[in-house]
Chains A and B, each alone.
Chain A
Amino acid sequence: MPNLLASRSALVATAIAVVVAALMAASGQKQALVIGVITGAGYGLVALGLVLIYKSSGVFNFAQGEFGTVAVYTLFRLHDKIGVPLLLAMLIGLAASMALALATERAVIRPLFDAPRVTLLVATAGVALLAISLELWLGEARLRFIQPALGRLDRISLFGVQVSDQRLLVLAALLMLAVLLGLFFSRTNLGLAILGVSQEPVATELMGISVRRLSSFTWALTGLLAGIAGMLTAPVVGSFGPGFLTFNALIPGFTAAVLGGMTSLPGAFVGGVIVGVAQSFAVSGFQDVPFLKEIPGPGAVMVFVILVVVLAIRPQGLLGKAS
C-alpha cells in the first residue's frame, strides 16, 4: 500500500499487537495468547469475506457464516456418511457454499440493489436464518463431532500449547488468502473492476464490463472464502451443529472487520487476530481478577466492548480510510 497514512496505521496496529502480546506473555497468559491467535485466524478468514462484499457492494453480508456452515455439512455428509474421498468432498463443499452465495446474490441482492443497506442486512439475515432452519430440519439439531483429518496433533508446542497441523493450516490459509486477495484487488484488472463498480457503476458498465457478472463473481468468491473458513475451522473446534459458523464466528468476524477497517483486507487479517487474542485473554485472564471473574461469558463481553469502542472512537478502524 503506497499510501503513507495506511502504512503508518499498519505500524501502529502492529505496535499495539506486539505490546498486547508482550503483556499477555508477561502476565502468564501464554497459552491464551497462542489459543487466541489460532481462533483469531478463523475470525480473520470470515472477516475477509465480509470485507470483500462490503468493498464491492456496500452490503453487510449476514449470511457469511451460513455459507461456511453449508460447506461443512456437505463435507460431513459426503465424507463421513457416504465415504467420498476427503479432497473431493471438500471441493464439493466449496461448490455448495459458492452455490448458496450465488443464489443469494441472484434472489436477494439483485432485486434489492437500490434498497437501503439495512434492508439488505435484514435480507441476508433472513437468508442466514433460512439456512439454519434447513440445517435443523434436514440435518437434525444435534451436534456432530469430527476429528481433524490431518496428521499430527502435536506438531509444535508453543508455550505448552499443542498446536496441531490443522491449526497451523488455518493460520497458513489466512495468511495466504489475505496476501492473494490484497494482490488481486490492487494489481489485477478484475480486482480493480470490482472495486470500481462499487464507486462508479455506470462508468464501469460503459467500459464494457458487465456489472452483473462482476457481482456474481464477487459473491462466488466470498462463498469460496466462507467455505474455506468453515471447513478448516470445524475440525479445530471439534464439533459443529446448525448455525455453526454464524454462532461461533460471525460477530467476532464482523468485529474483526470493523476493527481492521471495513474497507481493508489486510485489516481483516489483523483485526481477526486481535479479536481472537483479546477474547481468549478475557476467557482465561478474567478468572484471576476478583471482580471480573464473576462475569459470565467474558469472551462475548470482550467482543462487544471492542466493537463499541472502535465504532465510537475510530469508526474507520485501524487500517481503513476515514470517509
Chain B
Amino acid sequence: MSLEESVDAPPVVETEAPVAEPIVVEAAPSFRPGPAGWVARGLVMAAAAALVLLFPATRGNVDVHIYTQAVIFAIIGLSLNVLLGYTGQISLGHQAFVGVGAFTSAYMVTVHGQPFVAAVGMAMVVGAVQALLLGIVSLRITGLYFALVTLAYGTMAEESLFNIQKLTGGSAGQPAPKPAGFTTDLRYYYLCLAFLAVVVWVDWRLMKTKGGRALSAVRENPRVAATFGTDVKVYTLMAFVVAGVFAGLGGALLAHNDTFVVRDLFNFQLALVFVIMTVVGGLRNRTGVVIGSAFFALIGKLFDVLFENGLHIPGLKALPKEYAPIVIGPMLLLFTLTRHPGGVGQQVRPLQRWLRGGRFSFKNTHESEVRVSDVRA
C-alpha cells in the first residue's frame, strides 16, 4: 500500500523519540481556542462522561450487565491492541487467554475460597505466564505461522484445557460470585470502569517508556531494529506479558460479571470477534479500540432497540441477537481492511484533536497501517 511506503520513505530517523500516535501536522500550529471553544469542548466531554457514568444508573440490572460486558470487552480489546500494535503479532486464540483468566479467577474463589482481589491477581499472573510462553514461541515462529499456532492453541484450550473438570468444572462450569461490596450490577459496572481507566493509563504510560518507544521505532522502521539489538526481544516479551495481564484481568472480570463461567463461551467465534473489534476499532488507537469493542458488545442490544422502534428487515428479526456480532463483524472487518484501515479510531481522530484544543479539521486523518510481521521460513 502506498501509504505504508510513504511512512517508510524518509531514510532519516527522527531525532525526537517517536511516540506511538502519529504526529499530526496542524495547519495553524499556533491555534488556540477561545473561551467559547473551551466551553464547547467541556460540554462535549461532560456529555460523554454523563453517558458513561450516569446513564447506566437509570437502567435495570440486565442492561447494566451488558454495559459491564462492553467495558470488559474494551479491556480485552486493549490487550489485543498491545499485542498487535507493539509486537506486530496477531493472536487468533485470544479467547483462550481470556478464558484462562476467567477460569483461574473462578477457581480461586470457588475452590480455594480466596477473596476477589487475590483471585483477579492470580488471573493476571496466570495470563502473564501464558502470554510469556507464547511470546517465547513467537521469537522463533513469527508472522503467519505464529497466527496459526495461536489459532491451534485456542482450539486446544477450548477442547482440552477448559474441559479439565477439576479446574473448570467441565461442562457445568464454575461459579464466580461478585466481590464483596460490589454485589449489585451497577456497582460492579463502576468497578470495571475503574479497572478500564487503570488499564488505559497503564497502556499510555507504557508507551512512553523506553521499551515502548523502542518497539514503536522498530515497527515504524524495521531497519532500526539492528541498533537496538537483543533488547527488542526483551521488550517484545514484555509486551506479551502486558497483553497477557490485561487479558487475564478481562477474563476474571468477565467471569464475575456473569457469576458463572462456562467453557462454551470461549469458542472460535469469540476469538474472531476479539480480533475484529480491535481491527475495526483501529490499531494502536486506544480510543478507537475502546469504542469498537464496546460497540461489538452492545450490538445485540442495539438490534433490540432498533427492532422495537420499527426497523424491519425481513428475516433479520429472526436472527437471535447472540449472532449479531458475528454477522455484522465480518462485514465491518472487510470494509475496514479494504477501505479505512485506520478503523473507528481514524474516524474519531478529528474529534480527538478538537477536544485537545486543536482545530476541527478532517485533514491528515489517515492512519498508517501497522506493519505486522511477515512470514518466516
Contacts and interface: CB of A to CB of B under 8 A. Distances in A.
Given A107-B334, A132-B269, A307-B152, A118 B160 contact: no
Contacts of B318: 137
Contact of A130 (B151, B268, B330, B375): B330
Interface in B217-268: 268
A190 B164 CA distance: 51
B317 to A, nearest CB: 11
B337 interface: yes
Contact of B331 (A112, A130, A251, A311): A130
Contacts of B92: 125
B131 interface: no
A295 interface: yes
Contact of A315 (B137, B153, B329, B377): B377
Given A132-B326, A133-B323, A126 B334 contact: yes
Interface stretch (A7-15, A209-217, A298-306): A298-306
B327 interface: yes
A312 B141 contact: yes
Contacts, number: 147
Contacts of B159: 296-297, 299-301
B366 to A, nearest CB: 15
A117 B374 contact: yes
Nearest to A308: B149
Given A114-B1, A122-B279, A297-B160, A247 B372 contact: no
Contacts of B375: 58, 117
B126 interface: no
A301 B330 contact: no
B143 A311 contact: no
A121 B373 CA distance: 12
Given A126-B276, A295-B160, A304-B153, A118 B326 contact: no
A129 interface: yes
B204 interface: no
A139 B276 CA distance: 24
A108 B331 CA distance: 11
Given A121-B144, A125-B92, A116 B371 contact: yes
Contacts of A126: 272, 276, 329-330, 333-334, 337
Interface of A: 58, 60, 107-108, 111-112, 114-119, 121-123, 125-130, 132-134, 136-137, 141, 243, 246-247, 251, 254-255, 258, 294-301, 303-304, 307-308, 311-312, 315-316, 322-323
Given A122-B275, A136-B326, A297-B163, 17 more contacts: A108-B337, A112-B338, A115-B337, A123-B337, A125-B92, A129-B269, A130-B334, A137-B327, A246-B268, A251-B151, A251-B155, A296-B160, A296-B164, A300-B160, A304-B156, A308-B141, A312-B141
Interface of B: 1, 90, 92, 137, 140-141, 143-145, 147-149, 151-153, 155-156, 158-160, 163-165, 268-269, 272, 275-276, 279, 315, 318-320, 323, 326-327, 329-331, 333-334, 337-338, 369, 371-377
22 contacts: A60-B148, A108-B338, A116-B373, A118-B373, A122-B90, A122-B279, A122-B337, A130-B334, A137-B315, A137-B323, A251-B155, A255-B152, A296-B160, A296-B165, A300-B156, A304-B153, A304-B155, A307-B148, A307-B152, A308-B141, A312-B141, A315-B141
Q: Enumerate the 6 nearest inter-chain pairs by beta-carbon distance, A residue then B residue, closest first.
A: A297-B159, A297-B160, A296-B163, A130-B330, A315-B377, A300-B159
